[in-house]
Structure 1
Amino acid sequence: MAVTTLVVGYHHALTTASEQDFRPHSGHLRQVLAEHDITLSEAARADFDRRLVTWQRLAHASAMADLITMVLSRHGIDQPLSSSELAVQMCERAGDAPVTAEAARTLTRLLEQGYGVLVATTTCRPQEQRAKALADAGLGDVPLVTSSQLGVAAPHPEFYEHVLRRCAAAPGRVLWVGSDPIEDVAGPRAHGMHAAAVLPTTAAGRRERAARAGAHTVLTSLQELPDVLVPLARP
């Protein structure tokens, strides 16, 4: 593919860790509240976790705080901190999935070859936390777009339009690399970009859906990406 700019997702592309292992759940909320001598009942914990996945998909800055506010109000729990501060502390306790050394080396190699690289991720985590994960992998200078800061998440058109503005490249010169057949393949293709899916061979169903959604190629890891790119012309 003859492209000049790469937009790379986070999960499966940059990290192999399970998102479930780093999800901020009610156990983290209970720990934060316990520091202020506030008990989170089992009923409230169950209520929070039952709604968590759906609310996380909203993936904007106040999604987690809004869920905390709703659950605590439903269960009559008063606490001294703002829900937004509770959300930040929960995410800090949960941590973030680390970028693999192999993925970091691949992006560094592509940057050295002259490609523009931007990381775009749908997440309700604070932008600062995901930026730290990139910095810890030596990718602190790579531009980052998060839905939590932007206020809209993929597959909303505004998400792709914002990323394209940040890329400052024609859509036909941009390759979107990610793991979700809708958010990382169908969405970018609808906006004129190329798309490559990164999914393990064990995810046969998702690989097939990504191909049907219009992926130009389906890779098993980000390390394969340089082999499918047309080398950039050197001045």
Structure 2
Amino acid sequence: MPTPPPVKSSPRRKPVRISPQKRARANAIFDTLGALHDAPKTELEFVNPYTLLVAVVLSAQATDAGVNRATRALFATVQTPAQMLALGLDGLKSHIRTIGLYNAKAANVIALSALLLERHGGEVPADRAALEALPGVGRKTASVVLNEAFGHATCAVDTHVFRVAHRTGLSTAKTPDGVEDDLLRLIPPRWARPAHHLLILHGRYLCKARTPECWRCPIVAPCAFADKRLSPR
């Protein structure tokens, strides 16, 4: 899953009042996208919470498709932290060489696997603080695991969510954390769990970075994007 460009950390913004118009826009956007996608989920392939965690760590600055190609053979035999440690650093690298930054990612996966055994009995914790204490696991990775593996109503902000939130007018925040704060206040409770998947799918296949396909967008009416392309070139 791609991540937004790195930004300087800053304190969380003070929440501002949400206007009825903005609340109505959010309802229209999520109701429309939700009606189009039945039970949306991550496109990363995984077997259990541990392999999901590994896949998400590997997906930083990489595509889900590229990670899936690399992990299919890996996850056929490695599905627990103990099995990962038995495979070893070099063995893991041999599986994920096609993924960007694979040396650093492999080191993080080995280190987090050791800590899962040491601190959590080999299980992935369903707790944000415990997840973020693992090597290579930041807020976005923890949010994805909590949402997908444990059903928590989190909103992981990747580059697609960041872009769609800005274009639609759901957020003007300059950081992923700020966008997350805005979205969590706007997402209707009925869409709390699948919301970030809905935004990811929309950004990946329609609201693309270079050429948003507004002419066939189902949320073109409530979208606040100023440069809508209402016909294909």
**TM-score between both structures, scaled by the size of structure 1:** 0.26
